[in-house]
Amino acid sequence: MHDVANPEHHPELENQKAILEDQLRDRYSNLDRDSLEALPEIQAYQTYYQSFKKTYHLLLQLESVVFKHKPIPRVAALVEALFMAELQDLLLTAGHDLETVQLPIMLDVAKGNERYILLRGEEQILKPHDMFIADALGVISSVIYGPDLRTRISPGTRSVFFTTYAPAGIGEEAVQKHLQNIRRNILSISPSAGTESLTLYRA
Protein backbone atom coordinates (compact mmCIF):
# COMPACT_ATOMS: atom_id res chain seq x y z
CA MET A 1 0.00 0.00 0.00
CA HIS A 2 1.17 3.50 -0.86
CA ASP A 3 0.53 6.98 0.56
CA VAL A 4 0.06 5.70 4.10
CA ALA A 5 0.71 7.59 7.32
CA ASN A 6 2.18 6.16 10.51
CA PRO A 7 1.28 8.46 13.43
CA GLU A 8 2.07 7.50 17.02
CA HIS A 9 -1.60 7.93 17.92
CA HIS A 10 -4.79 7.94 15.87
CA PRO A 11 -8.22 8.52 17.50
CA GLU A 12 -10.22 6.36 15.08
CA LEU A 13 -7.80 3.47 15.46
CA GLU A 14 -8.00 3.78 19.27
CA ASN A 15 -11.79 3.56 19.01
CA GLN A 16 -11.56 0.48 16.79
CA LYS A 17 -9.08 -1.14 19.20
CA ALA A 18 -11.50 -0.73 22.11
CA ILE A 19 -14.31 -2.26 20.04
CA LEU A 20 -12.09 -5.17 19.00
CA GLU A 21 -11.02 -5.84 22.59
CA ASP A 22 -14.68 -6.11 23.63
CA GLN A 23 -15.45 -8.36 20.66
CA LEU A 24 -12.56 -10.69 21.46
CA ARG A 25 -13.62 -10.98 25.11
CA ASP A 26 -17.23 -11.64 24.13
CA ARG A 27 -16.11 -14.27 21.63
CA TYR A 28 -13.53 -16.15 23.69
CA SER A 29 -13.92 -15.38 27.42
CA ASN A 30 -16.01 -18.52 28.00
CA LEU A 31 -13.25 -20.75 26.59
CA ASP A 32 -10.27 -22.23 28.40
CA ARG A 33 -6.81 -22.56 26.93
CA ASP A 34 -7.45 -26.02 25.51
CA SER A 35 -10.52 -24.67 23.71
CA LEU A 36 -8.53 -21.75 22.31
CA GLU A 37 -5.88 -24.14 21.05
CA ALA A 38 -8.62 -26.15 19.34
CA LEU A 39 -9.69 -23.19 17.19
CA PRO A 40 -8.85 -24.18 13.60
CA GLU A 41 -6.53 -21.22 12.96
CA ILE A 42 -4.68 -21.57 16.27
CA GLN A 43 -4.43 -25.33 15.79
CA ALA A 44 -2.83 -24.92 12.36
CA TYR A 45 -0.16 -22.56 13.66
CA GLN A 46 0.37 -24.54 16.88
CA THR A 47 1.06 -27.65 14.81
CA TYR A 48 3.63 -25.69 12.78
CA TYR A 49 5.25 -24.06 15.82
CA GLN A 50 5.36 -27.26 17.86
CA SER A 51 7.44 -28.89 15.15
CA PHE A 52 10.09 -26.32 16.18
CA LYS A 53 9.33 -26.78 19.91
CA LYS A 54 7.73 -23.33 20.04
CA THR A 55 4.33 -21.95 21.04
CA TYR A 56 2.36 -19.78 18.63
CA HIS A 57 2.92 -16.35 20.16
CA LEU A 58 -0.42 -14.97 18.96
CA LEU A 59 -2.16 -17.47 21.27
CA LEU A 60 -0.34 -15.90 24.22
CA GLN A 61 -1.27 -12.39 23.08
CA LEU A 62 -4.92 -13.38 22.63
CA GLU A 63 -4.96 -14.83 26.14
CA SER A 64 -3.51 -11.58 27.47
CA VAL A 65 -6.32 -9.51 25.95
CA VAL A 66 -9.17 -11.93 26.70
CA PHE A 67 -8.32 -13.38 30.11
CA LYS A 68 -6.04 -10.75 31.65
CA HIS A 69 -8.02 -7.81 30.20
CA LYS A 70 -4.85 -6.14 28.99
CA PRO A 71 -5.33 -3.57 26.22
CA ILE A 72 -3.94 -4.00 22.74
CA PRO A 73 -0.50 -2.35 23.00
CA ARG A 74 -0.13 1.19 21.72
CA VAL A 75 2.63 1.40 19.12
CA ALA A 76 2.86 3.15 15.76
CA ALA A 77 -0.46 3.13 13.91
CA LEU A 78 0.60 0.89 11.00
CA VAL A 79 1.85 -1.77 13.41
CA GLU A 80 -1.33 -1.49 15.48
CA ALA A 81 -3.46 -1.90 12.36
CA LEU A 82 -1.54 -5.08 11.54
CA PHE A 83 -1.72 -6.47 15.07
CA MET A 84 -5.45 -5.77 15.34
CA ALA A 85 -6.08 -7.84 12.20
CA GLU A 86 -3.85 -10.63 13.56
CA LEU A 87 -5.92 -10.83 16.75
CA GLN A 88 -9.18 -10.64 14.83
CA ASP A 89 -8.29 -13.36 12.33
CA LEU A 90 -5.54 -15.24 14.26
CA LEU A 91 -3.27 -15.24 11.19
CA LEU A 92 0.46 -14.51 11.37
CA THR A 93 1.56 -11.42 9.43
CA ALA A 94 4.74 -9.36 9.06
CA GLY A 95 4.93 -5.70 8.05
CA HIS A 96 7.74 -3.93 6.20
CA ASP A 97 8.57 -0.49 4.85
CA LEU A 98 8.19 -1.14 1.13
CA GLU A 99 10.73 1.52 0.18
CA THR A 100 13.46 -0.46 1.98
CA VAL A 101 12.58 -3.76 0.28
CA GLN A 102 14.79 -4.61 -2.69
CA LEU A 103 13.14 -6.62 -5.47
CA PRO A 104 12.83 -9.44 -6.31
CA ILE A 105 11.01 -11.00 -3.35
CA MET A 106 11.25 -14.76 -2.75
CA LEU A 107 9.28 -17.17 -0.57
CA ASP A 108 11.27 -20.25 0.45
CA VAL A 109 11.90 -22.94 3.05
CA ALA A 110 15.05 -22.58 5.14
CA LYS A 111 18.01 -24.91 4.86
CA GLY A 112 19.25 -23.76 8.26
CA ASN A 113 22.20 -21.60 7.19
CA GLU A 114 20.28 -18.40 6.36
CA ARG A 115 20.93 -15.42 8.66
CA TYR A 116 19.31 -12.08 9.30
CA ILE A 117 19.08 -9.32 11.89
CA LEU A 118 15.95 -9.42 14.06
CA LEU A 119 13.99 -6.35 15.14
CA ARG A 120 15.83 -6.30 18.46
CA GLY A 121 19.16 -6.07 16.61
CA GLU A 122 20.44 -9.61 17.13
CA GLU A 123 21.60 -11.92 14.35
CA GLN A 124 19.50 -15.05 13.94
CA ILE A 125 20.14 -18.25 12.01
CA LEU A 126 16.95 -19.74 10.58
CA LYS A 127 15.78 -23.15 11.68
CA PRO A 128 15.76 -25.80 8.94
CA HIS A 129 12.33 -26.15 7.26
CA ASP A 130 10.97 -22.82 8.55
CA MET A 131 9.19 -20.70 5.92
CA PHE A 132 10.84 -17.37 5.18
CA ILE A 133 10.66 -14.41 2.81
CA ALA A 134 13.73 -12.72 1.37
CA ASP A 135 14.42 -9.79 -0.90
CA ALA A 136 17.52 -9.21 -3.05
CA LEU A 137 19.58 -8.34 0.04
CA GLY A 138 18.53 -11.18 2.31
CA VAL A 139 15.89 -12.54 4.67
CA ILE A 140 13.22 -10.05 5.74
CA SER A 141 11.01 -12.37 7.85
CA SER A 142 10.43 -15.94 8.96
CA VAL A 143 7.54 -17.67 10.68
CA ILE A 144 9.40 -18.60 13.87
CA TYR A 145 11.48 -15.44 14.35
CA GLY A 146 9.40 -12.69 12.74
CA PRO A 147 10.39 -9.61 10.72
CA ASP A 148 13.85 -8.11 10.28
CA LEU A 149 15.40 -4.84 11.39
CA ARG A 150 16.45 -3.54 7.95
CA THR A 151 12.96 -3.28 6.46
CA ARG A 152 11.06 -2.47 9.66
CA ILE A 153 8.13 -0.06 9.66
CA SER A 154 9.30 3.31 10.98
CA PRO A 155 7.67 6.68 11.80
CA GLY A 156 8.51 7.85 8.30
CA THR A 157 7.07 4.85 6.44
CA ARG A 158 4.90 5.97 3.53
CA SER A 159 4.65 2.71 1.58
CA VAL A 160 4.04 -0.57 3.36
CA PHE A 161 4.28 -4.26 2.51
CA PHE A 162 2.39 -6.91 4.53
CA THR A 163 2.95 -10.65 4.22
CA THR A 164 0.79 -13.35 5.82
CA TYR A 165 2.18 -16.84 6.36
CA ALA A 166 -0.43 -19.59 6.01
CA PRO A 167 0.66 -23.10 7.08
CA ALA A 168 -1.34 -26.23 6.28
CA GLY A 169 -4.88 -25.85 7.59
CA ILE A 170 -5.28 -22.16 6.71
CA GLY A 171 -7.38 -21.67 3.57
CA GLU A 172 -7.03 -19.08 0.85
CA GLU A 173 -10.35 -17.45 1.73
CA ALA A 174 -9.17 -16.80 5.30
CA VAL A 175 -5.97 -15.19 4.06
CA GLN A 176 -7.86 -13.04 1.55
CA LYS A 177 -10.24 -11.84 4.25
CA HIS A 178 -7.35 -11.12 6.61
CA LEU A 179 -5.49 -8.99 4.06
CA GLN A 180 -8.69 -7.07 3.38
CA ASN A 181 -9.08 -6.45 7.13
CA ILE A 182 -5.54 -5.06 7.28
CA ARG A 183 -6.37 -2.79 4.34
CA ARG A 184 -9.55 -1.61 6.06
CA ASN A 185 -7.58 -0.75 9.21
CA ILE A 186 -4.99 1.16 7.19
CA LEU A 187 -7.70 3.13 5.37
CA SER A 188 -9.08 4.27 8.73
CA ILE A 189 -5.68 5.92 9.31
CA SER A 190 -4.97 6.95 5.71
CA PRO A 191 -8.21 7.22 3.69
CA SER A 192 -6.35 8.13 0.49
CA ALA A 193 -3.93 5.18 0.64
CA GLY A 194 -3.78 3.01 -2.46
CA THR A 195 -3.37 -0.76 -2.69
CA GLU A 196 -0.84 -1.80 -5.31
CA SER A 197 -1.35 -5.53 -4.86
CA LEU A 198 -3.38 -7.99 -2.80
CA THR A 199 -2.22 -11.39 -4.00
CA LEU A 200 -2.05 -14.97 -2.73
CA TYR A 201 0.84 -17.29 -3.59
CA ARG A 202 1.09 -21.04 -3.12
CA ALA A 203 4.40 -22.34 -1.82
Task: Report pLDDT digits (tens) over 105-151.
Answer: 999 999 999 999 999 999 999 999 999 999 999 999 999 999 999 99
Point out which residues pair with 135 in neighbouring strands: 138
| Whole-structure pTM value | 0.94
Least Cα distance to 46 among 80, 90, 89 occurs for 90
For residue 199, count other CB atoms closer than 10 A to its CB: 7
Distance CA 113, CA 125 (A): 6
Q: In the chain, which residues have pLDDT < 50?
A: none
Residues 6+ positions from 112 with CB-CB distance below 8 Å: 125, 126, 127, 128, 129
Helix (H, G, I), strand (E, B) or coil at 142: strand
